[in-house]
Amino acid sequence: MENLLHVGKNVPRTAEIDKVTGHAVYIDEYKRPGMLYGKILYSQYAHARIKSINTEKAKKLPGVRAVITGYDIPDVRVGFLGDQTVLKRDIVRQFRDEVAAVAAITPEIAEDALKLIEVEYEPLPAIFDPIEAMKPDAALVHETDARGRPLRSNILPLPWKFSAGDVDKAREESTYVVKHDVTTPWINQCCMGTSGCVAEFDSNNNLTYCAQTNVIFGAKQRIATYLRNIGLKGKKIRVLNPVVGGSFGTKLDTDIYEFICIQLALKTRKPVKIRFTREEEFAALPPRQASRFTIEQGCDKEGKLTFRKVDAILDNGAYTSWGATTPSVMMLPISSMYRVPNVSFQATCVYTNNIYSQAMRGYGNPQAAFAVETSMDLLAEKAGIDPAEFRLINRNHPGDVTPMGLKITTCPLEECINTVKEKIKWDEKRGKKNGRGVGMASLIHVAGGARVYLSDGTGIRIKVNEDGEVDVLSGSTDQGQGSPTVIAQIIAEATGFRPEDVNIVFGDTALGLWDAGTHASRHTFVAGNAAVRAGELIKRQILELAVQHIPKLVKRSLKQQQKKNPDFVPPELDYTLIDSPDKLELKDRMIYPREAPDHPYFKTEVGKILTSGLHVGVGESKAVAAEVFWDPPTQMLNAEMKGNYSCTYAFGTAGVEVEVDKQTGEVKILKLVSAHDVGRAINPTLVKGQIYGAAYIGIGYGLTERVQVVDGKVVNANFRDYKILTANDNIPVEAVIIEDPDPAGPYGAKGIGEPGLVPTAPAIANAIYDAVGVWIKDLPITPEKVLAALKAQGQ
C-alpha cells in the first residue's frame, strides 16, 4: 500500500468554502415557490387529558393557510414502537407533545396563530422517576400498546438481556470485587443548524421531501409507510438533503415534526417548511438517553478480570425512539472492553412522563463506558494495581473473540494506553492526591460498519465525463463531517484521478443506490470500501480504452508530424508494452506503461483517452461509468445479543490531567491526550478534527452539560443555561493518531466519528479521584458535587 498519492494527505476541504462564505444552501435558505411556514403547538402539561381544542380564532388570522389538530388527520401511529400519533388528541403524555400545527405565509404569522389556539386540559398525575414508574402499582403512562392491547406495566417489552459464562461462580472465585452505581444525564446534541424540513406534493400526490436525515432510505421507507397508512398508497417519494449543519444522532429517526410538515403540505397543497427555533431544538427534540447503571466487577490475584455484571435502567420518557435501542451498543464496552470471560447485562427501559430520547454520537457507549471505566479504577485500587497497568493486563488482543462474539482483528490498544501514559507523564504525576491528578479510560466501538438493519450495505455510482471530471453519486449523506473530501481522496486514489477532479452528490434517493445511513461511524469505512471497488472498475474500463486508443492516438500524431515534416522519421515503437490493461497504470491522471513509466510516446493524459473513446466517428463509442453496492460481511445480533456486527473495531485511550480547586470544587483540565486507533488516517487533519470535537463534547459530558428536566419540563432550553463549552474554554487537547491499517478497511481505515468522546468523561472522573480522593459517579461532575463530596470526607 505504498506510494499512495492522495490517501493519508491533508487534502483541504474545498467543498466547504461555500459554508464559510455563506453560499451553502442549508434548510434555512432552501425555498420553494409559494412556500408556507409551519409551526407547532406543544402541550402545557406533562400528563393531561385534552378536553377541547378550539382553532377558530387561529384560522381567521390573515395569512394563516391551515390549522390542524389530531382531529383533522388520520389517527395513525408512528415511531419505533408505534406508541404515538403525529398530533395528540386525547391525552398528552409529556410537555413536548404536539397538539396542533399551523401553516402560514410567514413564520411570524404562524407563531402568532399558535397563540390563538385554545386548548383546555384536565391535568392528570404524572410520573417522572423511572424507579417509581417500575413499581407494580405505578400509574400507567400508556394504557394500551400500539395494537390497542392493554398494558400492565410501564416497563417496555424490549428484551435487553445478555449473558456469557457464569457470573455467580466467577464472583465467588474472584479475589477482589467492586460494585457501584453511576448515573448519566440527558444530553442535547447541539447541532449548529437547528432541525427543519420542506415537504412538497405534486398534483399526483408524489412527495419531494427535503430533510436533514442521515438515513435517506430509512426515512423514505418510514414516510412511505406513513403515507400508505393515511391512504396514499404507491405514491413516489424522493428524499433530498440540503446542506446539513451537524446531526450527532438527531437525524437518525424520522421525527414527529416531519410528519406534521407532510400533513401541512397535504392540507395546503403548497410546499411547507418547518424549522425549529433553538428553544424547540432543546425542548422538542429527543436528546441522548439518560441512564442509571449498577456495575459489579471482579478480578483475580494477578489482576485478571473475572466477571462483569451490569444492570441498567433507562428513563424512556413517554414514547419510544432510538434511545431505547442504545443498549445494543452499551453491550460493546460491557461485554468486550478488556478481556472479561463472564458477563451479564440487563437493561430495562421504563415509560415516564419525561421527554423521550434517541441517538447521539456514541449511541449508548459513552454511558456504559462511564460505568465500566470508573469501575476499572475502583477495582484496580482494590487490587493494589496501577490503573494503567490494570488495563494493560486485561487489554484486548488481535484475534480475540469476545463474549459477545466480536472478532477483534487489528487492536493497537496497548499502544494507545502506553502513548497516553507517556504523553500525560503518568508515572510522574499519579498518586499525589495534592489537588492535581491524572486519569485514563479506554474504548471499543464499531469501526467497520454495523449491521443494525438486515442490510449494512451502501452503494456508489461513478461516471467519468470526457473532460476527466469524475461525478460520484453516493447513496449516503454528509452532515458536515468532511465526507466530500475523504471519499474524493479515496476515489482519486482508486481511479487514478485527483481529489479536485471528483464531484460528489450526496443525499438524494432518486440518484443514489441504497445506503443504511451515515451513522455508527460507518461512512468512511463502508462507503470507502464501495468507492475503492467502484474506482477500480472505472480504472479498468479506462485502461481497456487506453489499450485501444493510445496506439490510435500515437499513430495519428506520428502521421501528422510526417505530413508537416517530410523528413521526419517515425520511431520504431514497441506496442506490446501497452497491449493489455494489465500492462498499464493510471495515476494522477496520467496513463503509462508499467514497464516504461516515462515513455515519451505512450504516456497519455487520461482526458485524451476519454474523449477518443467517446468520439470514435465510426464504430462503438464508450462512456465510462460503474456502480458498486457493497454489503460488508457483518452479522446481525441474534436473540442472545451475540454476533460480529462490525467488520472491525476501533480502540482508543484518553488520558486527562486535572487540577481541582478544593475550596470551590472547580475542576480544571490541564491536559487531555486522546490516542485513537484509526486503522489508517485517510486525511489526518480531518481525523484530528473528529477527535478534538468529540473530546470537547466528552468534556462537556464529564463536567458541564445536561438537559435539566424538572417535573417533565426542560428548564434550560437555551445556550445560556445549557453549558456546552465555548471556544474560550480552550482546553489543551492533544489528538494522537495510532495507525495500524486494518485489512478490511479502505486503504486500512477504520471509523472515527464517535470514539473520541467515549472515554473522556470517565477519564476525568478517574483523574479527579487521583487528585483529591473523591469519586463522583453522577454526571456531569459539577463543582457542587465535588465540593459536597470533599466536605463529606472532611477535606
Partner 1 sequence: MKAYDYHKPHTVKEAIDIMGGLENAKYIAGGTDVMVLLRQGKINPANLVSLRNVAEISRIDTQNGIRIGAGVTHTQIANNEFIREHYSALADGAGVVGSKQIRNVATIGGNICNAAPSADTACPLLVLDAEAVIAGKSGERQVPVDDFIVGPSQVALEKGELVTGFVIPAFGDRTGSAYIKHARRLAMDLPILGIAVRATVKIGGAQAACRDAFKLTDVSDIVKRLEAEGLVLEDVRVAMSVVAPRPVRARKAEEAAKGKTISEKVLEELGEIAASESKPRDSFRGEAWYRRDMVKVLTKRALLKSIERMTGASSMVAPSRLW
Residue 25 CB, shortest distance to partner 1, in Å, is: 25
Residue 106 CB, shortest distance to partner 1, in Å, is: 11
Q: Is 434 in the site for partner 1 (CB under 8 A)?
A: no
Q: Is 720 in the site for partner 1 (CB under 8 A)?
A: yes
Q: Is 194 in the site for partner 1 (CB under 8 A)?
A: no
The single residue among 354, 704, 760, 766 that binds partner 1, judged by CB under 8 A, is 704
Residues 6+ apart with CB under 8 A from 339: 304, 305, 394, 395, 396, 397, 400, 402
Residue 784 CB, shortest distance to partner 1, in Å, is: 5
Q: Is 721 in the site for partner 1 (CB under 8 A)?
A: yes
Q: Is 708 in the site for partner 1 (CB under 8 A)?
A: yes
Query: Closer to partner 1 at the Cβ: 341 or 783?
Result: 783
Query: Closer to partner 1 at the Cβ: 16 or 661?
Result: 661
CA distances from 538 to 5, 472, 495, 755 (A): 18, 11, 6, 33
Quick one: which segment of 50-58, 481-489, 553-561, 778-786 binds partner 1 (CB under 8 A)? 778-786
Q: Is 664 in the site for partner 1 (CB under 8 A)?
A: yes
Scan residues 591-620 and list those touching partner 1 (CB under 8 A): none
Residue 536 CB, shortest distance to partner 1, in Å, is: 49
Distance CA 443, CA 373 (A): 9
CB count within 10 Å of CB 536 equals 15
**Which residues in 423-450 are b (16+ Cβ under 10 Å) and which e?**
bbebeebbeeeeebbbbbbbbbbbbbbb
Within its chain, how far is the Cα of 754 from the centroid?
Answer: 7
Do the beta carbons of residue 597 and residue 543 sit within 8 Å?
A: no
Residue 437 CB, shortest distance to partner 1, in Å, is: 17
Q: Is 778 in the site for partner 1 (CB under 8 A)?
A: no
Query: Closer to partner 1 at the Cβ: 63 or 82?
Result: 63
Distance CA 349, CA 154 (A): 9
Query: Closer to partner 1 at the Cβ: 692 or 719?
Result: 719
Residues in binding contact with partner 1, number by CB under 8 A: 23
For residue 3, what is the enclosing H or E element? none
Q: Is 723 in the site for partner 1 (CB under 8 A)?
A: yes
Query: Closer to partner 1 at the Cβ: 261 or 667?
Result: 667
Scan residues 89-128 and list those touching partner 1 (CB under 8 A): 108
Q: Is 727 in the site for partner 1 (CB under 8 A)?
A: yes
Residue 729 CB, shortest distance to partner 1, in Å, is: 5
Query: Closer to partner 1 at the Cβ: 291 or 716?
Result: 716
Distance CA 308, CA 174 (A): 11
Q: Report the sign of the C-alpha dihedral through residues 656, 657, 662, 665, in that order.
A: negative
Q: Cα angle vertex 740, ends 735, 742, to 5°?
A: 120
Q: Is 663 in the site for partner 1 (CB under 8 A)?
A: yes
Query: Closer to partner 1 at the Cβ: 3 or 728?
Result: 728
Residue 791 CB, shortest distance to partner 1, in Å, is: 9
Q: Is 725 in the site for partner 1 (CB under 8 A)?
A: yes
Do the beta carbons of residue 499 and residue 482 sit within 8 Å?
A: no
Q: Which has the closest alpha carbon to 262: 224, 213, 234?
A: 224
Distance CA 703, CA 725 (A): 9
733 — phi, psi (to 5°)?
A: -110, 130
Residue 112 CB, shortest distance to partner 1, in Å, is: 9
Distance CA 364, CA 766 (A): 20
Sheet containing strand 733-739, strands side by side: 436-446, 649-660, 667-679, 733-739
Query: Closer to partner 1 at the Cβ: 618 or 727?
Result: 727
Q: Is 173 in the site for partner 1 (CB under 8 A)?
A: no
CB count within 10 Å of CB 745 equals 26
Strands (E), 661-732: 667-679, 709-710, 713-714
Residue 195 CB, shortest distance to partner 1, in Å, is: 19
Query: Closer to partner 1 at the Cβ: 511 or 725?
Result: 725
Distance CA 352, CA 347 (A): 16
Do the beta carbons of residue 217 and residue 475 sit within 8 Å?
A: yes
Scan residues 200-219 and list those touching partner 1 (CB under 8 A): none
Q: Is 715 in the site for partner 1 (CB under 8 A)?
A: yes
Q: What mask of x and - would describe binding to partner 1 in positions 527 to 556, judged by CB under 8 A?
A: ------------------------------
Quick one: which segment of 48-56, 718-726, 747-755, 758-766 binds partner 1 (CB under 8 A)? 718-726
Residue 215 CB, shortest distance to partner 1, in Å, is: 33
Residue 724 CB, shortest distance to partner 1, in Å, is: 8
Query: Closer to partner 1 at the Cβ: 106 or 557?
Result: 106
Query: Closer to partner 1 at the Cβ: 260 or 714?
Result: 714
Give me the half-sphere count of Cα atoms (radius 13 Å) on the Cβ side of residue 300: 12
Distance CA 493, CA 489 (A): 6
Residues 665, 669, 673, 677: what is their CA dihedral angle, to the nearest 10 degrees? 60
Q: Is 787 in the site for partner 1 (CB under 8 A)?
A: yes
Quick one: which segment of 174-182, 530-538, 678-686, 727-735 binds partner 1 (CB under 8 A)? 727-735
Scan residues 643-662 and list those touching partner 1 (CB under 8 A): 661
Scan residues 352-371 and list those touching partner 1 (CB under 8 A): none
For residue 772, what is the enclosing H or E element? helix 760-772
Q: Is 784 in the site for partner 1 (CB under 8 A)?
A: yes
100 — phi, psi (to 5°)?
A: -155, 165
What does the binding site for partner 1 look like in residue numbers (CB under 8 A)?
Answer: 108, 661, 663-665, 704, 708, 710, 715-716, 719-721, 723, 725-729, 782-784, 787
